[in-house]
Amino acid sequence: MTKKNITYDEAIQELEQLVEDMENENIGIDELSMKVRRASALIETCREKLLLTEQEIHKILSPEALNEE
């Protein structure tokens, strides 16, 4: 559902726009459903990116990695 190479910042920006649209527009149930599905996919993308970043940071800052330098 999301673009594979969407950045975290792009995903957050799109999420913010979706929330704003849902709050400010009188939208039909079909469009609301579509926006909620898109938001869910974007949230999952953000979670994955945050998890990968956290893992990379832990790997970089691990005692083994620090001792190699």
What whole-number distance in Å separates Cα of residue 42 and Cα of residue 18?
10
The Cα-based distances of 62 to 10, 43, 48, 49, 55 in angstroms read 30, 28, 21, 20, 10
Is residue 2 within 8 Å of residue 41, measured between CB atoms? Answer: yes
pLDDT category, 4, cuts 50, 70, 90?
Answer: low
CA 69 – CA 57 distance, rounded (Å): 15
Other residues' Cβ atoms within 10 Å of the Cβ of residue 46: 17
Token pair for residue 54?
Answer: 């956290």
- What pTM was computed for the model? 0.79
The stretch 40-58 carries a mean pLDDT of 96
